[in-house]
Amino acid sequence: MSFVNKGERISRFVEELEGPGANTHAAAIADHPCYRAFFRCWNEQRYYEAHDVLEHLWLRTDSDDSRYFKGLIQAAGAFVHLQKNFEHPMHAKHSRRLAPAVRLFRLAEENLAPFAPTRHAFDVSGFLALLEKFRSAVSVAEPKHNPWSPSNAPQLHLG
């Protein structure tokens, strides 16, 4: 029985998304397969996977982009919480995911703000407005309100 570590698993997953021979050494971040896979996973409402593929790149980054990637990862995490809460609103664990989502939205906004208006072919200003819209629509008090649903899940695009 052979075990594959998380890095190898993510690399294989990104290759499945981006195709064989994806250039993991792309000079432009906007062309990096992990970065592109983040947006693809996001748009497929696969927020956990979006988090994972970008984390794979983030952990290897020692530039200013580290904070940028961290903000995108936190945003994906916030949407994981909203999605799980939407899917299982009465579940003991998932019913309590709205407050952590709000905390992650705030952290993401804080980390992404310095990169507005755009970074690596992405409209950061527009994304910050989207995050604020979802964050401010969440109600963690009674009655609880989760603004996310599969029909209104935001789509992200690289310019």
* Domain containing residue 53: CATH number: 1.10.3450.10
Distance of CA 8 to the CA centre of its chain: 20
Q: Is residue 159 assigned to a domain?
A: no
139: domain range?
6-152
Residue 49 lies in a domain: yes
Q: Tell me whether residue 144 is in a domain.
A: yes
Average per-residue pLDDT for the chain: 88
Count of positions (residues) in the chain: 159
* Side-chain-side CA neighbours of residue 123 (13 Å): 10
Per-residue pLDDT tens for 52-106? 999 988 988 888 899 999 999 999 999 999 999 999 888 878 788 999 999 999 9
pLDDT band at 108 (very low <50, low <70, confident <90, very high): very high
| Residue 158, in any domain of the structure | no
For residue 100, the surrounding DSSP H or E stretch is helix 98-112
The answer to whether residue 21 is domain-embedded is: yes
User: What pTM value is reported for the model?
Assistant: 0.85
pLDDT at 19 over 80: no
How many folded domains does the chain comprise?
A: 1
Instruction: Assess whether pLDDT exceeds 80 at residue 6.
Output: no
Name beta bridge partners: 119: 122
Domain presence at residue 142: yes
